[in-house]
Amino acid sequence: MISVYLPFSGAQYNFDLLKELKNNKLIKKIFLLTQNSQIEIPNSCEVLSVENLTSFKTIDSILKSDDSNYVLLFTQDSHYELGQFAIERFYNVINSTQAAMVYSNYFAVNENSIVRHPVNDYQLGSLRDDFDFGSLLFINRNYCQSFLSE
């Protein structure tokens, strides 16, 4: 099963995405990442208070907060529209390849246009500080926990 981690500001696009995520049978839990302890939290979601979305402390908290096999991590508080069966495709790819993490190309929605945004294929040694995985990551929790414990 999958646990979702979504940066949450209370914007309408957050609620639209939550509605879609709650209807997916593969999703076990939804955690809302927030820096604002005063924000109203929707039912059936849990809160994970964070200082910085991309810090090691946040990633460590995510990996320790639940026991689901997989983490679906949204790395930005932004408007997302998932393609049909996107979560199922991530799930199938990570299971069939035994990868530690899966990411994909995406479309960026600007004010008046939709721009295709391909991401680079990861190759051993190609990872740099500015490597673009996109803003949606599907992570094998067990692999990541074993990497962090080494």
Instruction: Give how far Cα 34 sits from Cα of 66, 81, 86, 93, 96, Å.
Output: 17, 20, 25, 29, 33
Of all residues in the chain, what percent carry a pLDDT higher than 70? 77
- Angle CA(63)–CA(137)–CA(135) in degrees, nearest 5? 120
Question: What CATH number labels 2-149?
Answer: 3.90.550.10
The set of residues, in sequence order, having a beta carbon less than 8 Å from that of 18 and lying 6+ positions away, is 6, 30, 42, 45
Query: Would you give the DSSP letter of residue 90?
Result: H
Q: Say whether pTM exceeds 0.95.
A: no
Q: Looking at the predicted structure, is the pLDDT value of residue 119 above 80?
A: no
Every domain of the chain and the residues it spans: 2-149
Q: Looking at the predicted structure, is the pLDDT value of residue 63 above 90?
A: no
The single-letter code of the amino acid at 43 is N
